[in-house]
Structure 1
Amino acid sequence: MNSVQHRLHITAEWITDYAQSIEAPLQRIHGDIIAPATMPIIFWQSFDIPWLNVEGPFIHGSQHFSYKAPIIAEMILDCELSLSKVEKKVGSQGDLTLYTHTLVCKCNGDLIVTADTVLIRVGDQNEETHNR
């Protein structure tokens, strides 16, 4: 299994910018700003993900978030992104490769969120590599 790790400092500004970008209201708990539930999907931007360094676009297949606690401003999250499964299928558009990922984020060793995401790549990677 492939995995990469990254430590993220979740700032109030980052949460606010993300909430505005998806037109979500800013929420608070005990005065602290809470990140929108879908924010972990942008954590991927902080990772160098070698198994996704292939030509061509990816299609977002599915996504699921499981929270143990909210993400709040000023948290330091230790995150690990793992490739848990690669599946080849044939669809109406041709060959498909489904990449199943799990992102686990903890704060001070406590689990905060697990996010499962499937990305789909259309086309046969091996064929494209050989035809360059």
Structure 2
Amino acid sequence: MIDKKWIGAKTDWIPITVTSKQIEQFCQTIDEKNPLYLDKHAAKKAGYEDILLPPTYPILFWQRLKIPWLIGDFTMIQSEQSFSYKQTLIANKRYHCQIDLKKLRTRGKQQFIVHRLSIVDKDKLAATSDTTMVLRYTEE
């Protein structure tokens, strides 16, 4: 089980750049057809410098971060997720990301954890995503 000492812990900051091709693949997966996510000309016409990341795309940033407190023999179930944007995220731009453990509650062989993914653009907070997960531990 995750020890309460991890509350407030943060991962290292990592750089992330999402390519147009990665966004296109994501849009195919979720059957997204909005031209702002797929067509650079449509995005430029709307005032953006490149295509936009769909609002839920940052969940994939988790795959790139090493989260030292998420080790052990458990099943992880996502129960809630929210996104908050200070600015629109766009393709081919370098962002920096970090995850921190905000809350931890234990009930029997389950733990409820809340993480915040922070996305920064040139030292300015661009977006956050709060994710609540349930960890179910196997019997020993």
TM over 0.5, shorter chain: yes
Matched, 1:96 2:110: yes
Match of 1:47?
A: 65
- How far the C-alpha of 1:71 sits from its partner, in A, is 0.8
- TM-score normalized by structure 1? 0.84
Paired residue secondary structure (1:99): strand
Match of 1:66?
A: 84
Match of 1:18?
A: 26
- TM-score normalized by structure 2? 0.79
- How far the C-alpha of 1:23 sits from its partner, in A, is 1.2
RMSD of the alignment, in Å?
Answer: 1.6
- How far the C-alpha of 1:53 sits from its partner, in A, is 1.5
Count, aligned residues: 122
Paired residue secondary structure (1:34): coil
- 1:30 is aligned, of 47, 70, 79, to 47
- How far the C-alpha of 1:75 sits from its partner, in A, is 1.2
Alpha-carbon distance in structure 1 between the residues aligned to 2:64 and 2:87: 22
Question: Which amino acid counterpart does residue 62 of structure 1 have in structure 2?
Answer: E
- How far the C-alpha of 1:44 sits from its partner, in A, is 0.2
Question: Which amino acid counterpart does residue 48 of structure 1 have in structure 2?
Answer: K
Q: Map 1:114-125 to 2 at 5 A.
A: 114-123=128-137
Match of 1:3?
A: 10
Match of 1:76?
A: 94
Query: Greater strand percent: which structure?
Result: 1
Contact kept, 8 Å, 2:89 with 2:126, in 1: the verdict is yes
- How far the C-alpha of 1:12 sits from its partner, in A, is 1.0
Contact kept, 8 Å, 2:82 with 2:131, in 1: the verdict is yes
* Structure 1: unaligned runs, 5 residues or longer: none
* Structure 2: unaligned runs, 5 residues or longer: 1-7, 37-42
